[in-house]
Structure 1
């Protein structure tokens, strides 16, 4: 199981590698950077939706309909 520090370090290393490749290949890095940012935003959005869904379901289960 990864620790958060390990995951953060690996992500930072990967982003540094992607940036270096972008510098080496000119405009090719723009697409890669866009894809990475889009993926991170999608992960963030799914996390927020999951948290909201969990809270809504928790409230719904707590209702007394009888």
Structure 2
């Protein structure tokens, strides 16, 4: 009664559901992404501080 396509779709959905609940390696991935984002934030902050300091030093009183 099921066609081959329906069986294939059912297997695909079951595999996706299994992978969705598989959390192996998630913590490592989250740590790496967090570290990259933190490094980018520090780089942006350093650039902003440098630009503001240069602009403040260029003001003639």
TM over 0.5: yes
Task: Let me know the Cα RMSD of the aligned residues.
Answer: 1.1
Structure number with the bigger relative contact order (C-alpha 8 A, sep ≥ 6) is 1
Q: TM-score of the superposition, structure 2-length normalised? A: 0.61
2:57 to 49, 57, 61: 61
SS at match of 1:27: coil
Partner of 1:33: 29
Shift of 1:27: 2.3
Alignment of 1:1-66 (within 5 A): 27-65=23-61
Structure 2 gap ranges (5+): 1-21
Equivalent residue of 1:36, what SS? helix
The count of aligned residue pairs is 40
Gaps of 5+ in 1: 1-25
